[in-house]
Amino acid sequence: MLRQLLNFRMGLAVIAVAIVSGTIFYSNFLAKKIEKEERQKIRQWVEANKFIATAPQNVDLTLASSIQQQNTDIPIIWTNENDSIIDSRNLDSSQISSKSYLEKKLKQFKSGHQPVILVLNKAPYVADKYYYGDSKLLIQVRYFPIIQLMIVALFIFITFYAISARNKSTQNQVWAGMAKETAHQLGTPISSLEGWIEMLKEQKTDSSISSEMEKDVSRLKLISDRFGKIGSTPKLEQKDIAEQVEKMVAYIKRRSTEKVNFIINQPGHPIMANISEPLFDWVIENLLKNALDAINGKGLITIKIQQQTGHVTVDISDSGKGISKQNLGKVFKPGFTTKKRGWGLGLSLAKRIIDQYHKGQLYIKSSEPGKGTTFRIILNT
């Protein structure tokens, strides 16, 4: 299916390129043809002027006058043999009295076409030179391919943007649907487990068993609550970021080995920012678990919290294997993972939570293979 889709898109691209290329070649052909015809018209116009000027009396000048009057679109400047301007035709009437305007146009015409020369006398040499420019039609034909390319490029951009927006919307719907369905499916067994815990308490069994089970059920309820908030607009509240991070570090620390050292650098006073507590905790948990996987159960994880003007930054660094350059752009894409197990959704979810729900930023601040990686979170205060 994917191969068929790619072949279809490639086929459309080839057809589009062929159409545009054909149009450009045909436009160039028309431009050359019109240019040739316009030079012929100038020659005829010059001959008509010569005939009118030198014709004896009682000669019919109807045809010559018609040829002379038909040229209303090709701009002309004629000069003497020394290129001193004598007169002009079909130029901007509002600027025709300006000498600089005429000289500028004459220079432009010289660079565009060879003049049509009318020799009036061979010795001494006297001649009129007729310099001319392109008609509006010729200019339009020449610029048509450029305009067409711009339109095609705009069309392609809008098409790809629409496809991207549609795909993104579909992905968001899939994310939200899966998350809410997961929360819904967890609801029934969680309620059942809560009932069993109450029965254990009533039967006065070992309290440590019910206590540990209660902790796990609370954890399941938190996970269910997190999934339930995906797809809906969460309520953001002012929370102490340092406190939230410390809580999640303590949770991860209990589930890691003694060979992992955690260091938290913070100012020592509350650092407030607008967050959804369960979703933000989920992000920190994901990043800390990712750091644990990177150091393979042995190494250093450093969390640095800073308050700056208008925002708070949280840097989570590890001393692990780092990320290769070719994978830096793929880290947050759904499905990408370097682990043997897992779906590669943790970092993608974390970025979505920070970027979309908290209007902040989550990105890789730095990474070097063999030395570790630093993820940075930016939150608005």
The string of pLDDT tens digits covering residues 37-58 is: 888 888 888 888 788 777 777 7
Query: Is the per-residue pLDDT at 69 higher than 60?
Result: yes
CB 38 within 8 A of CB 74: yes
| Residue 182 main-chain phi, psi, to 5 deg | -65, -45
The band of 287, judged by pLDDT with boundaries at 50, 70 and 90, is very high
Residue-level pLDDT at 336: 63
Higher pLDDT, 114 or 56: 114
What is the mean predicted confidence (pLDDT) over 114-124? 83
CB 272 within 8 A of CB 265: no
CB 312 within 8 A of CB 240: no
Residue-level pLDDT at 4: 52
- Give me the residues paired with residue 375 across strands: 316, 364
CA distance 259 to 59: 114
- Give me the residues paired with residue 118 across strands: 128
Pick the most confident of 138-142, 229-233, 258-262, 301-305.
301-305
Query: Is the per-residue pLDDT at 6 higher than 60?
Result: no
Query: Is the per-residue pLDDT at 343 higher than 60?
Result: no
For domain 233-380, is the CATH number 3.10.20.30?
Answer: no
What pLDDT digit, counting tens, does each position of 143-180 carry? 887 887 788 778 878 877 887 777 777 766 666 666 66
CA distance 77 to 296: 82
Question: From residue 371, how far is each of 289, 311, 326, 368 by CA, in Å?
Answer: 18, 28, 16, 5
* Domain residue extents for the chain: 1-71, 76-134, 150-223, 233-380
Question: Cα 6 to chain center, whole Å?
Answer: 21
Average pLDDT, the chain: 82
Residue-level pLDDT at 2: 45
Alpha-helical segments (H) within the chain: 2-54, 62-70, 99-112, 136-202, 207-229, 241-254, 277-295, 325-328, 346-352
Whether omega for the bond prior to residue 124 falls within 30 degrees of 0, making it cis, is yes
The band of 340, judged by pLDDT with boundaries at 50, 70 and 90, is low
Query: Is the per-residue pLDDT at 318 higher than 90?
Result: yes
